[in-house]
A and B are shown apart, each in its own frame.
Chain A
Amino acid sequence: MGTAWGWRMKLRPDPHLLTGAYALDAVDDAERDRIRRHLARCPACAQEARGLREAATRMALAAAEPPPPQLREKVMAAVAQTRQQAPAGEPSTLTRKGAAWRQAAGRGRHGSSAAPGRAWMPRLAAVAMSLVVVAAVVLAVAQVVTQSRLNTARAQQAALSAVLSAPDARTATASVQNGGTVTVVYSHDERRMIFTAHGLPPLTGGKVYELWLMAPTSNRPEGLLDLQPGGRAVPVVASGLRPGDQTGLTVEPAGGSAQPTTTPIVVVPLTG
């Protein structure tokens, strides 16, 4: 069970009981991910969570008070200068289920800066990043555009460009135990990473490659890799990066797991 990596297998009580705490945002990030996965499999739970969140909204409205008068002008001025995100389209393998929703709610302090737009290639020149790696990522993204719904790819692009053009962007490459190479571009400022892989051997018996963000106290599932011919994985953008995180891949049973059940086949530290 990967004790060599110090994986901590958490006790996992029935996530259904957490719909209330989830609706109030009273859970931590790892739990939120776990509950989302549960809700994706349990329509009744999802419906309950929706209803409870509407109840929470009434509590929100009850707290309404007039905002400072100057806020309107500030917001409108910012709006006039802020590019909007393209529609996300239907969730696909590219983004995990609910990723668009999470992304919508997951934009942090960068929310007030202008959206990065499409022209990120020139800005890359300023980034001390291996051209080979950039080429690999761009190629991978180009493949996504042909292999996935275009609008979904566009949604990813804003996140991709944010990471790729971040001043603190770094890359890390590692070999995978059973063959293949993973490349990670990450930015702690943006709290995001882009994960790509190629040469991964196909898995049998319905098994899947599952991506993780790993910290000493918790492992956060970041989705299943969508393996294309040639063992190339559709790039995954993961948010919520924290200092000290590592990323890793495990082989999991069909559908993936909420916590790793096997020893990782590759672990990449995301040093700041």
Chain B
Amino acid sequence: MNFREARGPGPGRDREAGPSAEPDLGGLLAHVARGDQAAFEQVYDRLAGPVYGLIRRVLRDPAQSEEVAQEVLLEVWRTASRFDPSRGSATTWVMTIAHRRAIDRIRSVTAEAQRDQKSAAAAMVPAPDEVAEAVEGNLDRERVRRCLGSLTDLQRESITLAYYGGYTYRQVSGLLGTPIGTIKTRIRDGLIRMRDCLGVA
């Protein structure tokens, strides 16, 4: 299991320059787009962990998460030719698909019916994922935790509910009993602070 390469958020890595020994993710996707299955295996090794982890954070249920992760990874294979570097990094392209698919699943009617405030509360506090904690040196996890810690409570709660909880900002407003306009601006302000704190473009 070798998905650590994808994570390095440090300068020089997040733009996918990557260490010279490894082809960058965008370059790999170009090979994948031409039907290169070996290149896809490398993409898998880098991103299966982040894809699965994100989906599981949102959906919680491991079986559903595995199913959605499989769909997402296959979608990366099928649509690799659509990746456009001018719109963002390759990692972001994949993680956007993953998050969107998780959201689709959770916003489907049946899933909606099963959700309640309890799961909302659970989403607010990042689950102690023992397995993931055991993974050595997840710099992203530490950085993100530190940067989330620098936000106001309302910014942090709004952002984590929206992203990890899969709620719309309107639902977040309802869950937190805070006006929609306030939530909207707190999410934006908070995410701008996150961006600056994380040092991404």
Do A75 and B74 touch across chains, with their CB atoms under 8 A apart?
yes
Q: Which residues of B contact A53 (CB under 8 A)?
A: 88, 92, 96
Do B191 and A55 touch across chains, with their CB atoms under 8 A apart?
yes
> Closest Cβ of chain B: how far from A15's Cβ, in Å?
10
Do A85 and B78 touch across chains, with their CB atoms under 8 A apart?
yes
* Binding site secondary structure of chain A: helix
Q: Which residues of A contact B50 (CB under 8 A)?
A: 60-61, 63-64
Cα separation A78 to B67 with both chains bound (whole Å): 12
Query: Contacts A60-B50, A60-B54, A111-B75: A87 and B140 contacting too (C-beta < 8 A)?
Result: no
Partner of A19, one of B57, B69, B93, B188: B188
> Closest Cβ of chain A: how far from B131's Cβ, in Å?
5
Q: Which residues of A contact B75 (CB under 8 A)?
A: 104, 107, 111
Partner of A21, one of B51, B95, B168: B168
Q: How many residues of A contact B (CB 8 A)?
A: 59
Interface residue? A57 (CB, 8 A): yes
Do B143 and A54 touch across chains, with their CB atoms under 8 A apart?
no
Interface residue? A119 (CB, 8 A): no
Do A54 and B200 touch across chains, with their CB atoms under 8 A apart?
yes
Partner of B66, one of A23, A71, A76, A109: A71
Interface residue? B53 (CB, 8 A): yes
Task: List, sorted by A's number, 17 A–B pairs whose CB atoms are closer than 8 Å.
Answer: A24-B159, A25-B96, A25-B100, A50-B88, A52-B188, A55-B198, A58-B9, A58-B144, A61-B95, A64-B135, A66-B49, A76-B37, A78-B74, A82-B74, A85-B79, A85-B81, A100-B84
